[in-house]
């Protein structure tokens, strides 16, 4: 039997020093590109489409858009969020919207999770605006994650799954279908089953 498939592979294209929005000046970075490969017997052979480019800080492991390297730190970097923070926020909103409307308690919960896992203090009003925009576009969380996966490193993907777990656990328990959904989120980000299960076990013990 011939075993074939596809897999995301991330390679470093360049490295140097940059101004990290999270840790400050003179941090070392790696510029990475994630690409989907055709695999034969689990060996990546043929490069297919590009999944994304990102810059990874070697100190905090945050990932950022490649444009971060051109930013004037005094002007713009302070407003730049790590990409996983955006991904976390968007996937939580998409998950909450999938069940219907997002009520005030849920918005407060989003705010708490953003602070606990992303270290970011978002205002209720900003979250409301983003939720409104999302509800017009009807975004499927899994599709969203497969689009974002190319700009996230392992740490970013783990934070996104933990955020999804916290949302699911908000009503006191995480049932089987919710666990399956979170598992699908991990797969949409090209994570292995073992990796996903490891993150879920960790999330379970910390909530």
Binding site for Zn ion (CB under 5 A): 20, 22-23, 57, 59-60
Tell me, letter by letter, the H, E, C secondary structure of the chain.
Answer: CCCEEEEEEEEEEEEEEEEECCCEEEEEEEEEEEEEEEEECCEEEEEEEEEEEEEEECCCCCEECHHHHHCCCCCCHHHCCCHHHHHHHHHHHHHHHHCCCCCHHHHHHHHHHHHHHHCCCCCHHHHHHHHHHHHHHCCCHHHHHHHHHHHCCHHHHHHHHHHHHHHHHCCCCCCHHHHHHHHHHHHHCCCCHHHHHHHHHHHHHHC
Q: Which residue lies nearer to Zn ion by CB, 106 or 158?
A: 158
Q: How far is the CB of 64 from Zn ion (least distance, A)?
A: 9
Q: Which residue lies nearer to Zn ion by CB, 59 or 98?
A: 59
Q: Which residue lies nearer to Zn ion by CB, 5 or 119?
A: 119
Residue number of the CB closest to Zn ion reads 57
Q: How far is the CB of 56 from Zn ion (least distance, A)?
A: 9
Q: How far is the CB of 88 from Zn ion (least distance, A)?
A: 17
Q: How far is the CB of 60 from Zn ion (least distance, A)?
A: 3
Q: Which residue lies nearer to Zn ion by CB, 88 or 145?
A: 88
């Amino acid at each position: 039997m011939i075993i074939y498939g596809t897999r995301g592979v991330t390679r470093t294209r360049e490295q140097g020093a940059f101004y990290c929005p999270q840790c400050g000046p003179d941090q070392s970075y790696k510029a990475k590109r994630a690409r989907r490969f055709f695999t034969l017997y689990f060996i990546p052979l043929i490069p297919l489409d590009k999944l994304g480019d990102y810059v990874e800080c070697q100190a905090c492991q945050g990932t950022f858009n490649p444009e971060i390297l051109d930013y004037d730190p005094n002007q713009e970097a302070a407003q730049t969020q790590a990409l996983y923070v955006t991904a976390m926020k968007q996937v939580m909103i998409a998950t909450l919207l999938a069940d219907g409307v997002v009520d005030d308690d849920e918005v407060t919960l989003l705010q708490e999770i953003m602070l606990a896992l992303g270290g970011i203090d978002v205002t209720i009003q900003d979250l409301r605006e983003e939720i409104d925009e999302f509800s017009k576009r009807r975004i499927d969380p899994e599709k969203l994650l497969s689009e974002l996966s190319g700009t996230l490193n392992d740490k970013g993907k783990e934070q996104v799954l933990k955020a999804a777990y916290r949302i699911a656990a908000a009503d006191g328990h995480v049932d089987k279908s919710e666990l399956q959904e979170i598992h699908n989120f991990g797969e949409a980000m090209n994570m292995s089953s073992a990796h996903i299960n490891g993150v879920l076990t960790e999330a379970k013990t910390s909530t």
